[in-house]
């Protein structure tokens, strides 16, 4: 396209809304693909394809070298926020989950404000929060893992990596890696998932766990012994 930024901004929200809508039909997910012996091992479900395409849009915005008034982090945050708004309408049962995460107070430890806002936009996808006075809520990654949607969980890791390319502050990437790994602590807890899926529970998939760990290492690859990384409140920076 002559204006790829505009294309990413327009297509991204539609793709996330499509992903959320497709997740409720088991036949559209990687669970059905896994259970079909006739399918090629390289076959991707509709949910995987839609989330992967959404990640490509995020990646395009994160790595853009176009000289515009908005920073890459601002562009990604604006697109994801718009995508969440449209997904809430396309999948009404997910609206409470999106609203809950977007209402949280996110700290950035002296990071640029646009990057703090982007970090907040990513909390519905990967986050860990313990609140003894509130019901347990599962972010999208935890919910996908609990629902045995491992192919989609891997695509969620792709999404986090794509968005992280917008961050210049190493500590935010570090916090994302911590959140991603701590998501595994939530999988067996009784709680409401972001999309409120009901596909049953399964055992953890080894390849998906390994990919999440690799993603966490990649998010930390800009840290060195001299980088100051303040310990975030509650491992997430949420009040």
The pLDDT value given to residue 164 = 94
| Global confidence as pTM | 0.85
pLDDT of the residue at 234: 46
Task: Decide: residue 62, CB within 10 A, 0-12 exposed, 13-18 middle, 19+ buried.
Answer: buried
C-alpha dist (Å) from residue 99 to 44, 66, 159, 191, 221: 30, 32, 20, 16, 32
Report in angstroms the alpha-carbon separations of 135 from 79, 192, 219: 29, 8, 29
Confidence (pLDDT) at 231: 46
Structure tokens at 112: 């640029």
Q: Residues 26-53: pLDDT tens digits?
A: 999 998 877 654 445 568 899 999 999 9
User: Which parts of the chain have pLDDT scores under 50?
Assistant: 37-39, 227, 229-239
Report pLDDT for 237.
44
């Amino acid at each position: 396209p002559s204006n790829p930024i505009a294309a990413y901004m327009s297509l991204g929200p539609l793709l996330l809304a499509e992903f959320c809508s497709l997740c409720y039909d088991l036949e559209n997910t990687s669970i059905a693909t896994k259970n079909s012996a006739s399918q090629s091992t390289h076959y991707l479900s509709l949910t995987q394809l839609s989330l992967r395409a959404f990640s490509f849009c995020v990646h395009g915005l994160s790595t853009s070298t176009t000289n515009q008034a908005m920073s890459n982090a601002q562009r990604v945050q604006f697109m994801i926020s718009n995508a969440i708004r449209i997904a809430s309408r396309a999948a009404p049962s997910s609206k409470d989950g999106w609203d809950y995460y977007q209402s949280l107070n996110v700290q950035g430890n002296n990071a640029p404000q646009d990057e703090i806002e982007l970090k907040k936009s990513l909390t519905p996808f990967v986050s860990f929060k313990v609140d003894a006075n509130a019901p347990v809520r599962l972010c999208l990654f935890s919910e996908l893992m609990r629902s045995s949607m491992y192919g989609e969980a891997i695509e969620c890791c792709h999404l986090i990596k794509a968005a992280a390319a917008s961050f210049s502050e190493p500590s935010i990437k570090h916090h994302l890696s911590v959140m991603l790994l701590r998501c595994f602590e939530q999988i067996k807890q009784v709680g409401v998932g972001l999309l409120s899926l009901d596909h049953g529970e399964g055992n953890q998939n080894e390849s998906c766990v390994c990919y999440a760990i690799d993603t966490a290492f990649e998010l930390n690859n800009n840290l060195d012994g001299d980088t100051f990384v303040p310990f975030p409140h509650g491992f997430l920076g949420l009040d």
